[in-house]
């Protein structure tokens, strides 16, 4: 996977104001903790997540996606009539149909000639959308395209807490399978890609590599689609240890091919933005890839795992807070259940962002 004509022009995010701390979740889980004699503080200790964010009750993903996409267009100064594709890549959607991208397209007032659809691939949906838009730009089909997503965790968190408290048959092993659901946070992100002739940043997307290890697709799954007999309330069960182990193994196997595709050696990876899962995952991933964790920019402590938008939100905040510098070689390292891995390389030059976000970096030690 290589590109000659694609630039990453803008990455923007929206972070909800409402916070839910790990201590507050444990307080709500008091009946479960008492019954199973679980020690308080284990959620933050095991994950490194102090808090996650929530959208207001009743918020539709498409509403926030339109706002964050508009922010990207305004930041880049791109005429929205020239946007040739709009892809919505988050797990959360407004409805099963039509595509959430349709409501975002309408709110943004994009051209009727714009290609509009949703992309679904767990935590890799937004990055997969970036590849599709980049391919269209490289082929000369469009000159600019938007990839956007919004994840909303409130329903999953509330449902998981309720289930854990109300089902007396659940054991400590069952609770372990539900732990990942308690790390989920909310947020929105948008990525605008343009042809290099239209770019004001010169942030070239060089290429990347992908790997699918679908033998492990059963390690993380939600309830079935309600249209085929699933419950309307989402629940998710995850073998977190196995998923982490196999995901890191897949990333380790892909990394040499990624470096070869983009013409870098390991020491030429100057900065990274990664999917945000947990502090142990972060530590083991960088050990497996033989990278210095100091080149990364984690946001896990105050955002939690925001699914498909975790990497782009982290990138947007990192850019706003000065993590990148001219001529940095930037690696975007995405891992999603399935298991799928997608790595993309950017030759970074400059940002159009003028104001700093003011949000903390969320840095934690992974030494």
Which domains are seen in the chain, by residue range?
Answer: 18-196 (3.40.47.10), 203-347 (3.40.47.10)
pLDDT of res. 359: 65
Place of tokens 């935590």: 123
Closest among 145, 180, 187, 158 to 18, alpha carbons compared: 187
Q: Which percentage of the chain shows pLDDT scores above 90?
A: 72
Q: What is the mean pLDDT of the chain?
A: 89
| Residues taking part in catalysis | 97, 123
- pLDDT for 269-325, tens place per residue? 999 999 988 788 888 899 999 999 999 999 999 999 999 999 999 999 999 999 999
Report the interhelical angle of 240-262 vs 279-289 (nearest 10°): 40
pLDDT of res. 360: 60
- Determine contact, residues 236/122, Cβ cutoff 8 Å: no
pLDDT of res. 356: 54
- pLDDT for 53-112, tens place per residue? 999 999 999 999 999 999 999 999 999 999 999 999 999 999 989 999 999 999 999 999
Neighbours of 328 (CB within 10 A): 17
pLDDT of res. 6: 98
- pLDDT for 206-255, tens place per residue? 999 999 887 766 656 676 545 445 554 556 666 677 777 788 888 999 99
- pLDDT for 222-234, tens place per residue? 765 454 455 545 5
Distances 106 to 10, 26, 287 between C-alpha atoms, Å? 21, 41, 45
- pLDDT for 176-195, tens place per residue? 888 888 999 999 999 999 99
- Determine contact, residues 24/43, Cβ cutoff 8 Å: no
Q: Is the pLDDT of residue 175 over 50?
A: yes
pLDDT of res. 272: 96
- pLDDT for 3-32, tens place per residue? 999 999 999 999 999 999 999 999 999 999
pLDDT of res. 365: 36
pLDDT of res. 246: 81
Kindly report the pTM of this predicted structure. 0.91
């Amino acid at each position: 996977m290589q590109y000659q004509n694609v630039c990453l022009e803008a990455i923007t995010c929206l972070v909800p104001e409402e916070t839910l701390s790990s201590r507050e979740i444990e307080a709500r889980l008091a009946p479960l903790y008492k019954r199973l004699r679980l020690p308080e503080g284990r959620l933050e200790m095991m994950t490194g997540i102090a808090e996650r964010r929530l959208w207001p009750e009743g918020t539709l993903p498409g509403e926030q996606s339109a706002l964050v996409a508009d922010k990207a267009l305004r930041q880049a100064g791109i005429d929205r009539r020239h946007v040739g594709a709009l892809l919505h890549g988050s797990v959360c959607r407004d409805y099963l149909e039509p595509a959430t991208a349709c409501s975002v397209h309408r709110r943004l007032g994009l051209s009727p000639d714009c290609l509009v659809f949703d992309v679904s691939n767990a935590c890799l949906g937004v990055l997969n959308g970036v590849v599709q838009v980049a391919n269209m730009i490289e082929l000369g089909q469009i000159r600019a395209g938007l990839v956007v997503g919004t994840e909303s965790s409130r329903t999953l968190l509330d449902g998981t807490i309720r289930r854990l408290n109300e089902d007396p048959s659940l054991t400590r092993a069952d609770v372990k399978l539900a732990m990942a659901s308690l790390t989920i946070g909310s947020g929105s992100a948008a990525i605008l890609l343009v042809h290099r002739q239209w770019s004001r940043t010169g942030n070239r997307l060089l290429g990347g590599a992908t790997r699918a290890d679908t033998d492990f697709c059963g390690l993380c799954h939600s309830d079935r689609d309600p249209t085929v007999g699933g419950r309307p309330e989402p629940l998710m069960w995850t073998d977190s240890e196995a998923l982490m182990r196999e995901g890191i193994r897949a990333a380790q196997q892909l990394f040499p091919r990624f470096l070869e595709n983009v013409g870098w050696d390991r020491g030429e990876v100057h900065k990274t933005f990664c999917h945000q899962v947990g502090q142990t995952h972060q530590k083991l991933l960088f050990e497996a890839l033989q990278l210095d964790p100091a080149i990364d920019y984690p946001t896990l402590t105050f955002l939690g795992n925001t699914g498909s938008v975790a990497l782009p939100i982290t990138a947007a905040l990192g850019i706003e807070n000065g993590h990148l510098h001219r001529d940095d070689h930037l690696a975007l390292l995405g891992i999603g259940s399935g298991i799928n891995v997608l790595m993309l390389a950017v030759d970074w030059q400059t940002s159009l962002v003028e104001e700093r976000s003011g949000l903390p970096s969320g840095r934690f030690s992974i030494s």
